Structure 1
């Protein structure tokens, strides 16, 4: 018994059979149990294999030969299956990582290369059409940390010039200020709030049942005890303090400083910069801001708070339109601020006289004007509510600029904020008093001018002295002054600056309404706990962007000059002589000047 080789032969009948089977499309296992008859002599190697096989069969039992063959066949089939499985896994890996490229079939057109080229062409055009996704925007900083102006900016070489040596003009005057162009100022507007040292969360006390146990306070601001006052200066991460509007639903509603719902909604929409002012008692005339850019006219809120008396005056003068606006100012009516004015009455006190000479058509008219020093007999002042509590009236605003009604704004507010807040990396800015730096001197000046009753001022100063108030000296540097000029306030609405104005308002509500006296006490107490600093800029810089006018009552004393009744010849040359022996026509030396009708 003989058997064939397990492999395929490439010569003789094996080669012919293999070629025939491939041509017929079928390929059988190359294992043959009966080799074909051949006239050729078996090779020597085949004889040796047959001898080895016969030798194995001779010594092994016949029953075990079948089992051995069966095991060999099973092992071969198992190995073949493993080989096929390994080949399929390798093929899948190749498919995932490379590409499938099928060879051409004989007799058919090779379309594989064409299809592959078309696919690559489509992919290339898609990649050319669809740009890669843009990188994610940079994460905004958590806090604004200031900036340095780039080289070549207009303010790089700016220095404050010395005051002009004009002996005829010795009073306060404006000085040059370098503002950036509006476009540059807008580009430098911070996109993150400034850092608030220590304080992170500030809440406000609301109480319906008010009990007055100690001195000071009001129905509007509450009656905080001295213990609560001391606790409010212990700066912590989360605090709850008195800050006006202690009663009612929300600021402006049933609080004693009531505002119409439509106006409140308008105020809540202000999310950027707010410019605010107030006129109560028709005490001032509305002064329109000048040199305001189109950007600020569209994006900055200009709000003027008035009471019923002032609103009636505006309507009678035909200044108020149907949109509740007078020029750029949006008029906000405050209804019955009785909780603030219940003990306050305006009183005029003559403090002196001055002479106004008006020259018209060669004739000199003289007017005697009595200066009226207006003060409050009581302790309440409605102006301090919007002045110090704008962050409560405009809860969504980022920055605010308070301007007294007697001032006319003449520079764009964005440029002002850039110059005095952002460039200085400050969240609160106020100008120094043009003349006084010491609180004790300021108190004496207020008493001399009759701004408040002397006993109340003395009590407040003594109270502060017992808490450690000392006169200003160079030892307080870098603090440059203890007395501000409070007619302009620039600030960012962050927790620490909001706390500062809340506590400042509480001092005004507890003691006198002269906020210049209490400013340094609040500042120094907060600074001792947080190292919080305030930018106190020069008074001449403030006068650069606001122009001071006169109160309405004073302007009404200036009667209009009589209309000219003809053309008058120019005055004689002797009138222009400054000799002390010369007098003006119609005037006698030492005469009591009176107004000409």
Structure 2
């Protein structure tokens, strides 16, 4: 095997290990790979994270770590020929209700269809064929008179078949669009990048002259959403984030990144590393510091993320259902708290069900999806043999770079200009030789000092030079 190549830290958040085309088992001419290929033959099989640097008593914040990627060309050739198995669940359909009625105080929204607690419980009862609430309950097609409405031309675009797509969203003009970096030519041609925005964000983009006539900003194809279902921009963002399979029904794989993130690794490489290499159908990073839902709830309350009473109600509800503090007893589950800004997934019935039910929890309770993630995951895993690849947060930071939200940028003070002041020219100093001094006066000054006289001394020449630069 050839020695691995290491990319420059200026091109990645941190070093990333790449392998030449000859190192991978599949051939460049092969359009997909069999799932039977052993991961033991993979060039990244023996890759291990280096030990953390000695802290020396200092506390380091979250940061990226090295990740082993194969080349973008070989990653694209590694797309599985067949879909992953969906345990138990084979057919998933969605509730349609033109006149949803709210019958419970915490029943969610009209857009979500107000599912009852009984319907919520039944949605976790795994069957071969299931019908569940999954947003868009009105209308015959998501985006067409359902709330979260999309122009017909854009809907036709979203119905196209694609093996891989990347998606993001900005609502309430909350973020600045980040352009992906280091995207291969194959991905530029074959992977659509969809950015969902509301009318407020569209107005800003038009006024700033960044949105062209083809509805594009760099790699991003802009999809404008009308008649948004929530007043909270963060809740509106959960619709494409968790219900992407409903908006793009003919897609095999997707990478979701929050609007504040910049993708800096080719999407084929990300999918190969975190899905295909792991034989996983859904991947999400764990929180870098917190693993326990109760700690996450306390942190959200301390940060004022949403109304504290709403968080308390949600956590108490989950406690009555059996939510407990995370411990090693839950291994191999490594965390109950995700860093939900990136979701990498294959669109199959079991993952579609998971994100539907996750959305229903966000719709019913708080918009803080970190609080409901483990409840939905654990309820499904209790019924079927399925798991989620929860990779390290430092690995996530290797392929996305996080920017500030726009409101923070708008309130940041402008950078302070540094003014360099040159000192005035020094006056010539007239030195008197010791031969020209009056010895009598010198001796008298010496006697005065010895007798305790406190006459003020004149500064020496060296001191005057220092003062001239102050």
Alignment TM-score, normalising by the size of structure 2 = 0.80
Partner of 1:302: 193
Q: Is the 8 A contact 1:407 1:546 kept in 2?
A: yes
Q: Which residues of 2 match residues 278-317 of structure 1 at below 5 A?
A: 278-317=169-208
1:206 aligns with 2:96: yes
Shift of residue 562 of structure 1? 5.9
| Inter-partner Cα distance in structure 2 for 1:538 and 1:189 | 23
1:437 aligns with 2:291: yes
For residue 222 of structure 1, the aligned residue among 99, 108, 113 is 113
Partner of 2:47: 158
Q: Structure 2: 5+ residue runs without aligned partners?
A: 1-30, 424-470
Partner of 1:548: 402
Local SS of the residue matching 1:292: coil
1:271 aligns with 2:177: no
Shift of residue 267 of structure 1? 1.0
Higher Rg of the two aligned structures: 1
Q: Is the 8 A contact 1:256 1:340 kept in 2?
A: no
Local SS of the residue matching 1:400: strand
1:535 aligns with 2:424: no
| Inter-partner Cα distance in structure 1 for 2:210 and 2:51 | 42
Alignment TM-score, normalising by the size of structure 1 = 0.63
Local SS of the residue matching 2:81: coil
Local SS of the residue matching 2:344: strand
Partner of 2:451: none
| Count, aligned residues | 391
Q: Is the 8 A contact 1:148 1:423 kept in 2?
A: no
| Inter-partner Cα distance in structure 1 for 2:59 and 2:110 | 47
Partner of 1:193: 83
Go from structure 1 to structure 2 and tell me whether the alpha carbon gap of 1:524 and 1:144 turns closer, same or farther (over 3 Å shift): farther
Runs ≥4 residues deviating over 6 A? none
Shift of residue 336 of structure 1? 2.3
Local SS of the residue matching 1:504: helix
Q: Which residues of 2 match residues 442-453 of structure 1 at below 5 A?
A: 442-453=296-307
Q: Deviations over 1:479-507 (max 9, x none)?
A: 00000000000000000000000000001
Partner of 2:464: none
Shift of residue 563 of structure 1? 5.8
1:176 aligns with 2:176: no
Q: Which residues of 2 match residues 473-552 of structure 1 at below 5 A?
A: 473-552=327-406
| Inter-partner Cα distance in structure 2 for 1:157 and 1:522 | 33
| Inter-partner Cα distance in structure 2 for 1:319 and 1:297 | 20
Local SS of the residue matching 2:239: helix
Local SS of the residue matching 1:312: helix
Local SS of the residue matching 1:221: coil
Shift of residue 211 of structure 1? 1.1
Shift of residue 182 of structure 1? 1.4
| Inter-partner Cα distance in structure 2 for 1:316 and 1:484 | 36
Q: Deviations over 1:234-260 (max 9, x none)?
A: 000000000000002310011110000
Partner of 1:126: none
Q: Is the 8 A contact 1:144 1:195 kept in 2?
A: no
Shift of residue 216 of structure 1? 2.3
RMSD of aligned residue pairs (Cα, Å): 1.9
Q: Deviations over 1:309-328 (max 9, x none)?
A: 10111111111011000000
Shift of residue 163 of structure 1? 1.6
Go from structure 1 to structure 2 and tell me whether the alpha carbon gap of 1:428 and 1:569 turns closer, same or farther (over 3 Å shift): farther
Partner of 2:127: 236
| Inter-partner Cα distance in structure 2 for 1:144 and 1:500 | 26
Q: Is the 8 A contact 2:108 2:363 kept in 1?
A: yes
Q: Deviations over 1:81-104 (max 9, x none)?
A: xxxxxxxxxxxxxxxxxxxxxxxx
Q: Is the 8 A contact 1:146 1:425 kept in 2?
A: no
Q: Deviations over 1:272-316 (max 9, x none)?
A: 111111111111000000000000001101000111110111111
Partner of 1:426: 280
Q: Is the 8 A contact 2:139 2:146 kept in 1?
A: yes
Partner of 1:252: 143
| Inter-partner Cα distance in structure 1 for 2:416 and 2:297 | 43
Q: Is the 8 A contact 1:146 1:424 kept in 2?
A: no
Q: Deviations over 1:171-206 (max 9, x none)?
A: 011000000111221121101100000000000010
| Inter-partner Cα distance in structure 2 for 1:417 and 1:538 | 15
Shift of residue 553 of structure 1? 1.2
Go from structure 1 to structure 2 and tell me whether the alpha carbon gap of 1:145 and 1:530 turns closer, same or farther (over 3 Å shift): farther
Partner of 2:152: 261
